[in-house]
Amino acid sequence: MKSLMIQGTASGVGKTTLVAALCRIFSDKGYNVAPFKSQNMSNFGYATPNFEISRAQVIQAIAARCKIESDLNPIMLKPLGNYYSTVYLNGKRYKKMHAKDYYSNFVNTKGIKAATDSLFRLQNNYDLVILEGAGSPAEINLQKYDIANMRIAQKAKASVLLVSDIDKGGSFASLAGTMALIEKKYQKLIKGFVLNKFRGDIDVLKPGFRKIKQLTKIPVLGTIPMFKLNLPEEDSLNVKAKEITWTKNNISKIDKELDKLAKIVKNNLDIKKIEMLIK
């Protein structure tokens, strides 16, 4: 029952892409691996006659070379505006819900149960489950409703890597601030930091690596460079995602991009140390 979780200091830092890369890297190493995200907000789903989940987990499943199933993303929210979303539960349309109702009457009852049931099934069926968090684990106004980050990491008994987007600036502050704001019982789950979307000379960063480790006792396990990648994006932040058709040709193109992604990440991340965290 091995698990690894990727969380971020904010939305858009690259969690989804890093999970896809790690799924392909560990699949290449011979692991029977599956991705998992307990709760995803997206207008771009992957629909079959039997279920619909976020396409981000489908791309991660292609990277992992695993079966595409509803357990990969047990809760999907399709935003409707004015704080309403259509909630999909276990791949099925559940109901339209206001955010207040969702937080007050769903996440800590049906939500957390669906998430943990799916997670445990995956853990029973795969050598390794790589979980993706949502947003930031340090949203202190929402922590008691957060079923996508630290609570699910604890249930999975997963080591956590915390990712920050250095291209936007303030990465070291974001890492230190996140550590300061998450509950102490969860701080011990974070085993390494990853800096993403870096441009420039890595030697300039190394004093920062030493200082952040002094402050938090947590090492930086990799710095991933900024590079172009032709994968379907999620509809988040300022990204305008496009629809795709799941033809053999498009899936083949995605597969080739995933190989490219995995190679770049593997060359810039301490995979040996990460593998030790999941054993």
List Cα–Cα distances, 240 to 54, 250, 271, in angstroms.
16, 19, 32
| Euclidean distance between CA atoms 56 and 232, whole angstroms | 8
| Res 236: pLDDT | 52
Question: In terms of C-beta density within 10 A (0-12 exposed, 13-18 middle, 19 or more buried), how is residue 200 classed?
Answer: exposed
Domain 2-38+112-277 = CATH 3.40.50.300: yes
Q: What is the mean pLDDT of the chain?
A: 94
Per-residue pLDDT tens over the stretch 147-156:
999 999 999 9
Give the tokens for residue 72: 């990969």
| Res 237: pLDDT | 46
| Euclidean distance between CA atoms 2 and 159, whole angstroms | 9
| Res 231: pLDDT | 86
Per-residue pLDDT tens over the stretch 223-276:
999 998 888 876 554 556 667 889 999 999 999 999 999 999 999 999 999 999
| Euclidean distance between CA atoms 171 and 208, whole angstroms | 10
Per-residue pLDDT, averaged over 98-113, amounts to 97
Q: Domain-by-domain residue ranges, the chain?
A: 2-38+112-277
Check: CB of residue 265 under 8 Å from CB of residue 194: no
- The full DSSP string for 254-265 is HHHHHHHHHHHH
| Euclidean distance between CA atoms 25 and 31, whole angstroms | 9
Going by pLDDT thresholds of 50, 70 and 90, the confidence category of residue 175 is very high
Q: Which residue has the tokens 């070291």?
A: 172
Q: What is the pTM of this model?
A: 0.95
| Res 244: pLDDT | 83
With a CB cutoff of 8 Å and minimum separation 6, the contacts of 102 are 77, 85, 87
* pLDDT beyond 50 at 41: yes
